[in-house]
Structure 1
Amino acid sequence: MVTNKKRLEECTVLEFKVDTVRLISENKGKEDEQLLAIMRINVQDLPGNIWMETNLRERNFKTQVAQKIKKSLIESPNDNFHLLNRGILISAHYVEVIEKESEKYVRIYLLHKGLHGSVDGGHTLEIIKKYKHQIINKKRVTIEVMTGVEDYFEELADARNTYVKVEDKSKLELEKKFDFIKKAIAHKRYAKDIAYKDNEEGSIDVRDIVAILSMFNISRYPNKQGEQNYPTAAYSRKAMCINWYREDYEKGSNNPYKKMTGLITDILELLDRVQADLPNFYSTSVANGKGQYGRIKGVTPGKGGRKFKRLFADEVAYTEYSTPNGFIYPIVGAFRYLIEEVNGVYRWKADPFEIWKKIGPYLTLILIDAHRGVGNNPNSTGKFISLWGHLYDKVKIAYLDSQE
């Protein structure tokens, strides 16, 4: 994504005074210039209208962490809040430093909701906004502003939000609440690659498994006429999916994740199949044999013989491209229509692999058209609700046609 001054007139502009600020530029003067502004500001100067749509975490102000942030702000006489708190991260279209009467100010330009705004530090931001009228002593907070991160925003947001408190992830493992997943995949090659606890070795985070399964939760996302909503949270809010998993586990025999136990390996294999087939479907059906999948914005081609491991393949296998989850999840999530519940157990109404084989090229065409329609941004593609709905409808039609 190019960082420049284009379209500034379309932006929401936030301007505030800073105590100190450092502006770092990469590729200065070039088309792919990116800016990083690091600043410390008095909490009283923090603007109250920073966009929050980009922040992945659900905010719970009753937790011990939230209470400690509040206590440090209101009760502590020391000006060390900026040292004890990791601060706020903001994604922006553009950022600049200006001077007014010998004081420094920062201007942040926000253009796209869902891409620009608070990425991390949502609790800190909201608590400051709510309680700053009660703060008597001087308190400062650190703010980072990044520009030009739109193309890999989802990765940035996920990386900054990978910490999930103990009771949300590791405690689930300690309480053996992932055991039925472990049993379901025990015979698969990738079973040993899943990390269920913080700092555990493994190339697959259990959060990703839970997010993928959440796309097939027909209790939360029922396949009912006129009642459709789509599991975009599986792509953009993995911490929320972990919370749902914890809540649903307490439902015992009504736990939708347990109901899909017999389908878990199928679901993961379907995701692997989509990832593996997309390049070929694009080349043969979308580009008529003339286009190169690796030139699509967001797709990373292997270079110098490098290949990418297919995480859920039965045998060790590789692909020549790394496909963004913003492409894969909307397609895989569309196959939720093929799930039904019979006698308290989820099952397929039809073979998902046969339907993918039949309409996969068409779904690929829909995906790429949508990707182009949202400015070739894979993160926007993954959040594009109309795309999720369109793909879901095509799977539904394919199933109904197969029943005639």
Structure 2
Amino acid sequence: MAIKPYRFEVSEARSVKHPTLPNIVKHTFLVPARLFPKDVPTGANLRDPVGMNRQVYKDVKASLEGKEALPGTFDLLNLGITIIAEDIEVIDKRIFDVMIDDDYGIANGGHTTQIIYDCQEDDSIAEGQHVEVKIITGLEGGENHTLRVDIARGQNTGISVQPRSIFELDGAFETLKAIVKDQDWAGDIGFKESDKKDIDVRELVSVLELMNITDFPVRDSKHPIAAYEKWSAPLKKFGDDYEDNRTDPSKRKYAAFEPLLLDALVLYDYIRRDFLRVYNETVGGRAGNLRIVEKAPPSKGRFQFRYAKLDDHDQRLTKGAAFPILGAFRNFVVVDPETGTAEWLGGFENVLASWRELAPELISETKQAIRDIGNAPDSLGKNRNHWANLFKTVRLHVMQQQLDTMG
């Protein structure tokens, strides 16, 4: 047994005595993530921080980096870290030495801790990010050994099976698999939470939702913002659609839009890849300095645009900024009344040509939205007015195409 001090610099701190076991004290620190101390022991954590490629942990990392959530909200979105310690020494009002036994330490939050360390190494933690650290002291003494073990065990029972794993087992993704089976990236899709893959099936379902003109008609004021805001929402709709039409899968609502999936993913790549060039050439400024543009971390290398087979790049438009633009192209989706299958107005080449024509205007509107509501991807991805403005721009373009055809 070795007890060592670990220096915690905090923004806020509070402590409360346990009402039943008065020797035990529960401390709560709000710690700037960039200052979380290195090498805190993890002896009390029953779950090693493995499987870091799982999407749930990629989402946590993106949140810490401010890519998929508002910077400064990490402690509100994450359950934090729980530590079993021997004692706490007050060094200053906001500086504490936490005395930790190597055999105990972190009881829960090992994955969060590893993500913080990785982002500290990459210097990629967004400004203002904090992590909530809960520290339990007063468990010293042989009579409390069982309680220490019970706390460690109880802190590691919170991960439940995610819906996508259930849907995969149930066969809900078979139609998607059939669509992508000939793509060279088909083997890179993770259909359940334990899959260590680069592409999450929820991304495919969310892109499909952006083209859903049944729930989001082009003449309506509703937009599929949940496709960005909450991946679980379109995933649940997709799974429920499968369950409701299990006896006749052809009647599934999403069956109508699945033939557009590969094209929509290609357009998604073009939007994310073209944004920097078009912004720099036509709007002015340097797109690479915007927070809605993400940089590939050194460990990743360069971003791939495998759907459209475009050249790799070390930067790309974030999902929060790209989804409202991609969703605006729902204006090109129509359903053939005879076949019940969705198709593109004028064909997909017309859609790509329209993107190239509209890109300067859509990117200019994005720049204005940044000025109005902020330079965070999450702000754009959740802003109803921004979605509506981009949608109207593409709508006017489609209407003008139709008038030109009639003329």
What TM-score results when the alignment is normalised by the length of structure 2?
0.60
Letter matched to residue 310 of structure 1:
F
Letter matched to residue 293 of structure 1:
A
Give yes or no for contact 1:281–1:361 (8 Å, CA) kept in 2. yes
Give yes or no for contact 2:329–2:391 (8 Å, CA) kept in 1. yes
Q: Within 2, Cα distance between the matches of 1:197 and 1:116?
A: 25
Match of 1:333 among 327, 334, 342: 327
The answer for the alignment partner of 1:299 in structure 2 is: 293
Give yes or no for contact 1:232–1:383 (8 Å, CA) kept in 2. yes
The answer for the alignment partner of 1:119 in structure 2 is: 77
Match of 2:204 among 204, 209, 218: 209
Q: Deviations over 1:275-327 (max 9, x none)?
A: 1111111011110xxx2221112423458894221242337x31231321111
Q: Within 2, Cα distance between the matches of 1:231 and 1:113?
A: 23
Letter matched to residue 174 of structure 1:
L
Q: Judging changes above 3 Å, is the alpha-carbon distance between structure 1 residues 303 and 114 closer, same or farther for their aligned structure 2 residues? A: closer
Structure with higher Rg: it is 2
Letter matched to residue 360 of structure 2:
P
Count of residue pairs the alignment pairs up: 285
The answer for the alignment partner of 1:21 in structure 2 is: 28
Give yes or no for contact 1:210–1:241 (8 Å, CA) kept in 2. yes
Look up the SS of the partner of 2:185 in the other structure.
Answer: helix
The answer for the alignment partner of 2:232 in structure 1 is: 239
Look up the SS of the partner of 1:169 in the other structure.
Answer: helix
**Where do 5+ consecutive residues of structure 2 fail to align?**
1-9, 17-24, 38-45, 48-69, 80-107, 117-123, 130-158
Give yes or no for contact 1:188–1:314 (8 Å, CA) kept in 2. no
Please report how far the alpha carbon of residue 266 of structure 1 lies from its aligned counterpart in structure 2 after TM superposition. 0.4
The answer for the alignment partner of 1:268 in structure 2 is: 265
Q: Judging changes above 3 Å, is the alpha-carbon distance between structure 1 residues 236 and 195 closer, same or farther for their aligned structure 2 residues? A: same
Superposition map of 1:163-312 within 5 A? 165-166=161-162, 168-224=163-219, 227-249=220-242, 250-251=244-245, 252-287=249-284, 291-301=285-295, 306-312=301-307
Q: Judging changes above 3 Å, is the alpha-carbon distance between structure 1 residues 367 and 24 closer, same or farther for their aligned structure 2 residues? A: same
Q: Within 2, Cα distance between the matches of 1:175 and 1:394?
A: 41
Give yes or no for contact 1:185–1:191 (8 Å, CA) kept in 2. yes
Letter matched to residue 282 of structure 1:
Y
Q: Within 2, Cα distance between the matches of 1:164 and 1:363?
A: 41
Q: Judging changes above 3 Å, is the alpha-carbon distance between structure 1 residues 302 and 185 closer, same or farther for their aligned structure 2 residues? A: closer
Percent identity (aligned): 24
Letter matched to residue 280 of structure 1:
R
Give yes or no for contact 1:371–1:381 (8 Å, CA) kept in 2. yes
Q: Within 2, Cα distance between the matches of 1:25 and 1:388?
A: 33
Please report how far the alpha carbon of residue 114 of structure 1 lies from its aligned counterpart in structure 2 after TM superposition. 11
Q: Deviations over 1:170-226 (max 9, x none)?
A: 2222222211111112222221111112222321010111111111112221222xx
Q: Within 2, Cα distance between the matches of 1:255 and 1:151?
A: 44
Q: Deviations over 1:96-146 (max 9, x none)?
A: xxxxxxxxxxxxxxxx8995884256xxxxxxxxxxxxxxxxxxxx999x9
Please report how far the alpha carbon of residue 149 of structure 1 lies from its aligned counterpart in structure 2 after TM superposition. 7.1
Look up the SS of the partner of 1:313 in the other structure.
Answer: coil
The answer for the alignment partner of 1:47 in structure 2 is: none
The answer for the alignment partner of 2:135 in structure 1 is: none
The answer for the alignment partner of 1:371 in structure 2 is: 370
Give yes or no for contact 2:208–2:258 (8 Å, CA) kept in 1. no
Superposition map of 1:80-91 within 5 A? none
Q: Within 1, Cα distance between the matches of 2:31 and 2:228?
A: 31
Q: Judging changes above 3 Å, is the alpha-carbon distance between structure 1 residues 206 and 151 closer, same or farther for their aligned structure 2 residues? A: farther
Give yes or no for contact 2:369–2:380 (8 Å, CA) kept in 1. yes
The answer for the alignment partner of 1:88 in structure 2 is: none
Letter matched to residue 269 of structure 2:
D
Q: Judging changes above 3 Å, is the alpha-carbon distance between structure 1 residues 173 and 366 closer, same or farther for their aligned structure 2 residues? A: same
Look up the SS of the partner of 1:24 in the other structure.
Answer: strand
Give yes or no for contact 1:307–1:320 (8 Å, CA) kept in 2. yes
Q: Deviations over 1:35-84 (max 9, x none)?
A: 9xxxxxxxxxxxxxxxxxxxxxxxxxxxxxxxxxxxxxxxxxxxxxxx99
Q: Within 2, Cα distance between the matches of 1:26 and 1:115?
A: 11
The answer for the alignment partner of 1:80 in structure 2 is: none
Letter matched to residue 383 of structure 1:
K
Superposition map of 1:28-177 within 5 A? 118-120=76-78, 165-166=161-162, 168-177=163-172
Q: Judging changes above 3 Å, is the alpha-carbon distance between structure 1 residues 164 and 329 closer, same or farther for their aligned structure 2 residues? A: farther
Q: Judging changes above 3 Å, is the alpha-carbon distance between structure 1 residues 151 and 391 closer, same or farther for their aligned structure 2 residues? A: farther
Look up the SS of the partner of 2:358 in the other structure.
Answer: helix
Letter matched to residue 234 of structure 1:
A
Q: Within 1, Cα distance between the matches of 2:164 and 2:375?
A: 34
The answer for the alignment partner of 1:68 in structure 2 is: none
Q: Within 1, Cα distance between the matches of 2:370 and 2:15?
A: 35
Moved over 4 A (4+): 15-18, 112-118, 148-153, 302-306
Look up the SS of the partner of 1:248 in the other structure.
Answer: helix
